[in-house]
């Protein structure tokens, strides 16, 4: 099917299967350290939890830490001590740093039961942060934050002073990944991409449901991806990988709603082909529904294996995450998530 220069189908190789990420291929960073494992066990810790950060004007999370007894770690994790990582920034710049130690980190949003403890601390203190006299309440809040939030094993890295690469990391001994360059999107390409996006059967299906849904009544927006500022976001990347350059266009729209019937999300990756005066878009990947993260923000693209398959680094309401190509789909990697 051809629609306004859009080819529905795939001009890219239809990759069958997806090799799992090997040891050290990808880690997110968090507050200057590297998240080795996103579901740490309490038994790996040593000593009491320490309340490191409480909600303020910059964030709404409670942050706690605990020392690690390396003897209690699984060997696959403890062996990282002393190894080198290459740390990457979003712009592709990088530097190396050595793992100097481990610690446990808990990150929890300020929701019940943490709010009850937090309100008690604030009621007794004029200062926004708890005082040292509230050690029992602080300990209770730290334990509650660990039990009700993300539990991370992080590697503390000894990075050079000139190293400011706070996005993600991988083993320094591994082959350097291929990073995609973020390129400007001309107005004509932006419109072509939105036309391609709205020509997709998956978009049409969501539009049909929106057009007849009760939440459409009284709304001036004719399209589901215009409601509540869910406008499609178009981004362009150039990936110089195996087989030459790939010119990629990402288009997504996310209309979040607690009611699944009103929740509409769609994400498409197209390949850009043809001459500049008559370009075509070939559908490469498509993901819909709640496989598309709420609050999606595509940060960068990378080829981690050097085989032309995409890795998509994104931010979302639930934190930073990684999607990998598997055939015509994008598959989330929950074990690689980290708080923002």
User: What is the DSSP pairing of strand 280-288 with strand 6-7?
Assistant: parallel
Read off the tokens for 17: 């299967």
Alpha carbon distance 228, 206 (integer Å): 15
pLDDT at 231: 84
pLDDT at 305: 85
Give, for all 340 residues of the chain, the pLDDT tens digit. Answer: 333 444 444 333 333 444 568 889 999 999 889 999 999 999 999 999 998 877 664 667 888 999 999 999 999 999 999 999 999 998 888 999 999 999 999 998 876 666 666 666 555 554 555 554 567 777 877 888 888 889 999 999 998 888 877 899 999 999 999 999 899 999 999 999 999 999 999 999 999 988 888 767 766 778 989 887 778 999 999 998 776 789 999 999 998 887 777 889 999 999 999 888 889 999 999 999 999 999 999 999 999 988 888 999 999 988 999 999 888 889 999 888 999 8
What angle is formed at CA 228 by the lines to CA 224 and CA 230, rounded to 5 degrees? 60
Read off the tokens for 14: 């239809």
Cβ(265)–Cβ(233) below 8 Å: no
Cβ(168)–Cβ(27) below 8 Å: yes
pLDDT at 115: 65
Alpha carbon distance 268, 233 (integer Å): 11
Read off the tokens for 97: 């740093």
pLDDT at 3: 37
CA nearest 338: which of 91, 150, 166, 62?
A: 150
pLDDT at 127: 52
Cβ(309)–Cβ(322) below 8 Å: no
Q: In the 3-class helix/strand/coil scheme, how is 69-111 assigned residue by residue?
A: CHHHCCHHHHCCCCCEEEEECCCCCEEEEEEEEEEEEEEEECC
- For residue 11, what are the CA distances in angstroms to 239, 280, 288, 293, 324? 15, 10, 21, 26, 18
Cβ(281)–Cβ(196) below 8 Å: yes
pLDDT at 129: 54
User: Considering the entire predicted model, what is its pTM?
Assistant: 0.84
CA nearest 103: which of 62, 149, 69, 144?
A: 69
CA nearest 154: which of 42, 27, 50?
A: 27
Read off the tokens for 326: 């598997």
Read off the tokens for 130: 């708890």
Which DSSP helix (H) or strand (E) runs through 188? helix 187-199
Q: Would you call 71 exposed, middle or buried from its count of C-beta atoms within 10 A (0-12, 13-18, 19+)?
A: exposed
CA 231 to centroid of chain Cα atoms: 20
Question: Read out DSSP for 114-134?
Answer: HHHHHHHHHHT-SSSSPPGGG
Alpha carbon distance 13, 32 (integer Å): 38
Cβ(44)–Cβ(69) below 8 Å: yes
Alpha carbon distance 162, 307 (integer Å): 32
pLDDT at 44: 97
């Amino acid at each position: 099917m051809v629609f306004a220069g859009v080819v529905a189908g795939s001009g890219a190789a239809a990759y069958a299967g997806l090799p799992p990420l090997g040891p050290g291929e990808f880690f997110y960073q968090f507050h200057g350290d590297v998240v080795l494992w996103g579901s740490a066990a309490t038994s790996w810790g040593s000593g009491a939890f320490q309340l490191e950060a409480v909600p303020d004007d910059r964030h709404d999370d409670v942050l706690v830490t605990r020392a690690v007894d390396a003897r209690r770690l699984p060997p696959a994790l403890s062996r990282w001590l002393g190894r080198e990582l290459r740390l990457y920034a979003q712009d592709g710049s990088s530097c190396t740093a050595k793992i100097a130690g481990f610690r446990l980190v808990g990150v929890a949003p300020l929701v019940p039961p943490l709010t009850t403890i937090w309100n008690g601390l604030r009621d007794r203190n004029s200062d926004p942060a708890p005082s040292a006299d509230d050690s029992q309440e602080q300990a209770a809040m730290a334990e509650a934050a660990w039990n009700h939030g993300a539990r991370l094993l992080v590697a503390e890295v000894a990075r050079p002073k000139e190293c400011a690469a706070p996005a993600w990391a991988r083993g320094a001994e591994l082959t350097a990944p291929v990073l995609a360059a973020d390129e400007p999107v001309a107005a004509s390409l932006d419109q072509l991409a939105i036309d391609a996006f709205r020509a997709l059967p998956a978009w049409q299906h969501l539009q049909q449901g929106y057009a007849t849904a009760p939440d459409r009544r009284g709304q001036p927006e004719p399209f589901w991806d215009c409601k509540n500022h869910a406008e499609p976001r178009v981004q362009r990347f150039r990936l110089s990988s195996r087989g030459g350059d790939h010119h990629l266009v990402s288009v997504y729209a996310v209309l979040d709603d607690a009611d699944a019937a009103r929740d509409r999300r769609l994400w498409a990756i197209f390949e850009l082909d043809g001459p500049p005066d008559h370009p075509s878009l070939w559908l490469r990947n498509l993901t819909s529904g709640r496989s598309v993260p709420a609050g999606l923000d595509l940060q960068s693209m990378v080829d981690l294996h050097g085989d032309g398959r995409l890795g998509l680094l994104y931010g979302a309401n639930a934190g930073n995450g990684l999607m990998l190509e598997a055939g015509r789909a994008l598959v989330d990697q929950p074990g690689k998530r980290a708080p923002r």
